[in-house]
Copies of this chain bind each other. A is one copy, B any other.
């Protein structure tokens, strides 16, 4: 046992977890999303800046608007997934920073006074949080179907504003049978890791 994490948890989060392209009808409750958030909110970000924001698409009207901005191959699954979440980066996260990182409130002005620096930090750290969120969806016993195949400008205009940049859209639910493609190969350790 090289890892401390138990084998069932390894399977649930990584080894047997798969991106789902089809789901059962079972709904995803508000309580489940809250439990996921309350777990993954502890994942680390720089200065605890926590720039990820989420829009849960629950009404039929909003879902219809969203589907129109999806790449064609993503439209059917976005139309039918029990829950669809738009993940975005808050480029104005610095307003919350003194509260989020009370040990060093000067960080707000020292590092994030300029919008380009904020956008860069928000994009990177919200991407970390998007990954924690995917892990969290799996921790809830659900499958995630993360997608970047959509019209980013269209989704931003339709559901967000100039201060919030879309990152990813995630279908969430219980996977249907045969909901996943065969697992693609991964790079060998030696192709990824070098030692100096």
Contact = CB atoms under 8 A, between A and B. Distances in A.
A195 B56 contact: yes
Contacts of A124: 123, 127, 148, 167
A96 B187 contact: yes
A55 interface: yes
Interface string A162-194: 000001000000000000011111110101111
A153 interface: no
Chain A: number of interface residues, binned into ranges: 35 or more
Given A50-B186, A132-B131, A196 B57 contact: yes
15 contacts: A2-B140, A3-B39, A3-B141, A5-B9, A5-B13, A5-B140, A9-B9, A10-B139, A37-B193, A42-B183, A53-B194, A100-B184, A124-B167, A129-B131, A132-B135
Contact of A9 (B6, B128, B187): B6
Nearest to A5: B139
A113 interface: no
A2 B29 CA distance: 10
Nearest to A8: B6
A33 interface: yes
Interface string A86-117: 00000000001001111100000000000000
B54 A194 contact: yes
Given A35-B2, A56-B195, A132-B131, A184 B101 contact: yes
Interface in A11-61: 12-15, 17, 19, 31-44, 46, 48, 50, 52-59
Contacts of A70: none
A2 B19 contact: no
A192 B53 contact: yes
A167 to B, nearest CB: 7
